[in-house]
Structure 1
Amino acid sequence: MSARVGGTALSPTRVAAIWGFAEATLWFVVPDVLLSWYALDRSTRGYRASGAAVLGAMVGGVVMWLWGQAGSGAAYGVLDAIPGIQKELIESVRHAVSSEGLSSMVLGGFRGVPYKIYAVAWGELGGNLAAFVVLTVPARAIRFLLVTFIAGAICKGPLKEMTLRRRRMVHVGFWFVFYVGYFVVMG
């Protein structure tokens, strides 16, 4: 999936970096959707894009960390308006970050907790920015790479005989069902 901006094609890695940034700030659809899409026909493209999504998330995370330092009340108000984020989740992350530090962020991505909340909470606490940036790598990369690997393995296994078009239909259906379930559970 390449995108065009002003007549210029964006490479898959650039699209992934932009998506990583967007989801780390205000967008609510995880880069996993894009990364698994790339893995439908070439998992190597998904792996390269995963790295770019992590870099984009780092930049977005720094923006949110800065916002948390400058005015966490306003940041939390905006986060509360994002689908899938409620005040209770924000308070839970604030508590986890203040009691467990950034280790809670690394595990949070596997629990469906948005990274952006950890960034604001760590900024609010005045947490070390360098530590945040370093721990962004495992917090984001492990899941991104795992999703890419699983999508590629499924395409080389059970979906091997399907056309790319049918794989894409399965992909869209999977993520539709995933997000319906996510929003039912997370609100």
Structure 2
Amino acid sequence: MRLQPERVSLAAFAWGLAEATLFFIVPDVLLSGLALKQPMRRVVHACVWALAGALLGGVLMYFWGRFSPMTALGVLREIPAIDLAMCEEVTRQLREDGLLALFIGPLTGTPYKIYAAMAGALALNPLLFFAISIAARLLRFLVVAGMVRLICRALPRLSQGGRMGLWAAGWLGFYGWYFRHFAG
């Protein structure tokens, strides 16, 4: 089955937007799945579209946190695996490390949406927030997709079905660990 590029772009954008706001499964799932079979230029294109959605979502969360921090915090706490302690930790990181926390935090399993809302609540520079978000989000999307591509090259004899099975097992394992660790 051939994926239509415009549908992939729309899906990547929508997933990036959803995950940056209220959804709890990262767009890396889609992007890494594309990396199993699609040419790398298409994967990069999808990463850029996921970034565009994530940036729109990040800006929405930033301004929600800026103008209604308690409401934003209350809604964030209703998302699976997000609690008050996680939100307080993000606030501490942003106070101590500034917006550079945007690079490190989401790599540790802490959702970007919390950083966006709390950066707004702390009235951190919105242009700097946007600029750092571009680098932090795109870098992660490209690294995850690139790692999948490298794994595929390292296992050239593995069938496409085997690759899909490995991909599915990897994400199921990750989210099994994630929800046990953070929603525990």
After superposition, residues 9-88 of structure 1 pair within 5 angstroms as 10-42=6-38, 43-88=40-85
Q: Does 1:155 align with 2:160?
A: no
AA partner of residue 179 (structure 2): F
AA partner of residue 75 (structure 1): A
Q: Distance in 1 between matches of 2:42 and 2:162?
A: 19
Q: Distance in 2 between matches of 1:121 and 1:105?
A: 11
Corresponding residue for residue 136 of structure 2: 139
**Aligned pair partner of 1:179 in 159, 175, 179:** 175
AA partner of residue 40 (structure 1): L
TM-score of the aligned structures, taking structure 1 as reference length: 0.91
Q: Percent identity over the alignment?
A: 36
Corresponding residue for residue 6 of structure 1: none
Q: Distance in 1 between matches of 2:131 and 2:3?
A: 29
Structure 2: which 5+ residue stretches go unaligned? none
For residues 37-83 of structure 1, the C-alpha deviation after alignment (integer angstroms, 9 at most, x for no partner) is 00001233222111111111110000001100121111111111111
Structure 1: which 5+ residue stretches go unaligned? 4-8
Q: Distance in 2 between matches of 1:98 and 1:55?
A: 26
Q: Distance in 2 between matches of 1:175 and 1:60?
A: 23
After superposition, residues 80-119 of structure 1 pair within 5 angstroms as 80-119=77-116
TM-score of the aligned structures, taking structure 2 as reference length: 0.92
For residues 96-116 of structure 1, the C-alpha deviation after alignment (integer angstroms, 9 at most, x for no partner) is 112221011111121111000
What is the number of residues matched between the two proteins? 181
Please say if residues 24 and 60 of structure 1, whose CA atoms lie closer than 8 Å, have aligned partners that are also in contact: yes
